[in-house]
Structure 1
Amino acid sequence: MRLDRFLSESTELTRSLAKKALHRGEVEVNGDVVKNAAFKLGDEHVVRWLGEPLARIGVRYLMLNKPAGYECTTRPGRYPSVIELLDVAKRGRLHIAGRLDVDTTGLVLITEDGQWSHRLTSPRRRCDKHYLVTLARPLAEGAETALAEGLMLEGEDKPTLPARLERLDDADGVRVRLVIQEGRFHQIKRMFAALDNEVVALHRERIGEIALDPALAAGEWRELTQAEIDTV
């Protein structure tokens, strides 16, 4: 790998800024100052910038417990981006695999591996997505059957794919767990609106085989384990 590319992939430097750092003599390779941007690095080389050793940033796979009030976007918007919650280098290389609405909380997966995220989010894969839903009022009888058969949402020309509903044991009867395999616009809110109800709170618990780590508080994140990565 060229030295300037290595610098741009292991620091916040762009390629042009990396070349300027090289020209200023700020970079050492195995203890020697190297100014040649095209210098070819091998496994035997140790690179230091301003005296600090560098390691190339590999492909990252992250799990975030999204709080409300953050957008699943990499661009500035009305609300802050979930990317801003990550204390990592080169955040601009990351993208979100499976978005949530600004007021929805829970599991968000973030990576720079486009093929991995495509496998995770492709409609053809029909990946299960598990949500904890708080409703405005208890559901009427027969909701399970209606969801399993598919609902025709307003403005759509095809019914939703079969969904699984579990009523949870709580005093008010308004908490349910829903499993869907799609990601249409505001889909869950629209599904319950079609059942004459309203979503008060929505929290994603799982995508496929990857479950939100219960040790993560809202706004916290961690790297995925290799076992979790390999499930996709």
Structure 2
Amino acid sequence: MSRKDATRILQKETVTVNGVQQKKSAFKVPSGAEVIWNETRLELSGPTYLMMNKPLDCVCANDDGLHRTVFSYLDVPNPSKLHTVGRLDLDTSGLLLITDDGKWSHRITSPKYQCTKVYRAWLADPITEDDAEAFATGLQLRGEETLTAPAVLDIVNEYEALVHVHEGRYHQVRRMFAAIGNKVEQLHREQVGQLKLDENLAPGEYRSLDKAEIALF
């Protein structure tokens, strides 16, 4: 149950918080407190922080009439209260963060914090060092008035590269390659900030973040 729910039941019957009986409904239950209600110990739940390996062919939405949503993979209480931290396209896989903590997700998605995301891209045509220079300089995307911010393009091999970007423009990585005359065949997000995708998670699987991972943002 939530701490808000625990606070509400203070209006009823016998409630103790850390051994002290409470009768005021306005009492704020502190995080980690032991709450006993009519001799029953209540477990208080805090915010939810999840890492998912998003599979292909599902969308980052709570409801969609055409495609399966990422939330359909979750077996957690009140999934409707959760939101994705940013979005991955239908045909993009990889690291997706899900939470109900709006302030936490804002620190990841707001342009103010310039949180870098790392994508592994497989291309239709060979990649060159000139492409890396173009990414570092900034690219003019179709329909955009300003150049993209400088990005890092690490060439893995002739048809594969790691792209480091901190902006969040619509379909940005795919459009950046389109701007240099190439096409992304496959796109997979591997990292957000300092947090890397857990390699033990198969597509569609997820796990809770630990305290150290949450504190990265």
- The correspondence for 1:191, drawn from 154, 173, 176, is 176
Does residue 118 of the first structure (1) align with residue 118 of the second (2)? no
Tell me if structure 2 keeps the 8 A contact 1:2–1:41.
no
State the shift of 1:7 in Å.
11
- The correspondence for 1:152, drawn from 140, 146, 158, is 140
Match of 1:34 in 2: none
Q: Which has the higher strand share?
A: 2
State the shift of 1:78 in Å.
1.9
State the shift of 1:81 in Å.
1.1
- Count of residues paired in the alignment: 203
- The correspondence for 1:180, drawn from 165, 172, 196, is 165
Match of 1:5 in 2: 5
Q: Distance in 2 between matches of 1:226 and 1:3?
A: 19
Does residue 105 of the first structure (1) align with residue 93 of the second (2)? yes
Change in 2 beyond 3 A, CA 1:77/1:207: farther
Change in 2 beyond 3 A, CA 1:91/1:143: same
Match of 2:45 in 1: 57
Structure 1 length-normalised TM: 0.78
Tell me if structure 1 keeps the 8 A contact 2:3–2:44.
no
Tell me if structure 2 keeps the 8 A contact 1:70–1:102.
yes
Return the letter of the residue paired with 2:5.
Answer: R
Shift >6 Å, 4+ stretches = 1-4
Cα displacement string for residues 1-29 of structure 1 (whole angstroms, at most 9, x for unaligned residues): 99993499xxxxxxxxxxxxx9xxxxx98
Q: Distance in 2 between matches of 1:67 and 1:47?
A: 45
Tell me if structure 1 keeps the 8 A contact 2:2–2:45.
no
Aligned-residue Cα RMSD (Å) equals 3.0
Does residue 95 of the first structure (1) align with residue 86 of the second (2)? no
Q: Distance in 1 between matches of 2:161 and 2:134?
A: 15
Does residue 164 of the first structure (1) align with residue 152 of the second (2)? yes
Does residue 203 of the first structure (1) align with residue 188 of the second (2)? yes
Q: Distance in 2 between matches of 1:5 and 1:68?
A: 37
Return the letter of the residue paired with 1:206.
Answer: Q
Cα displacement string for residues 72-101 of structure 1 (whole angstroms, at most 9, x for unaligned residues): 112334211101111101111101102100
Structure 2 length-normalised TM: 0.83
Change in 2 beyond 3 A, CA 1:47/1:208: farther
Q: Note the residue ranges of structure 1 that are not aligned, 5 or more in a row.
A: 9-21, 23-27, 31-37
Return the letter of the residue paired with 1:5.
Answer: D
Return the letter of the residue paired with 1:83.
Answer: F
